[in-house]
Amino acid sequence: MDLGFSGPKFTWTNKREVGGLIHCRLDRVWANPNWKAAFPEATITHLAKVNSNHCPLLLSLCLSIPNASNRPFRFQPIWLSHNDFPAIVRDSWAGMEYDLMGAVTRFTHKALTWNKEVFGNIFAKKRLIMARLLGTQRAIANNPNNFLINLQGQLSREYNEILQLEEEL
The more confidently predicted of residues 69 and 29 is: 29
Q: In DSSP terms, which residues pair with 12 in a beta bridge?
A: 24, 54
pLDDT single digits (tens) 97-117: 888 889 999 999 999 999 888
pLDDT at 119 > cutoff 60: yes
pLDDT single digits (tens) 48-75: 999 899 999 999 988 666 665 667 888 8
Task: Give the integer Cα–Cα distance in Å for 137 and 143.
Answer: 10
Annotated domain spans of the chain: 12-66+122-168, 77-118
Residue 27 and residue 57 in contact, taking contact as beta carbons nearer than 8 Å: yes
For the full predicted model, state whether its pTM sits above 0.85: no
Query: What is the pLDDT of the chain when averaged over all its residues?
Result: 88
Q: In DSSP terms, which residues pair with 57 in a beta bridge?
A: 46
Task: Give the integer Cα–Cα distance in Å for 43 and 83.
Answer: 47
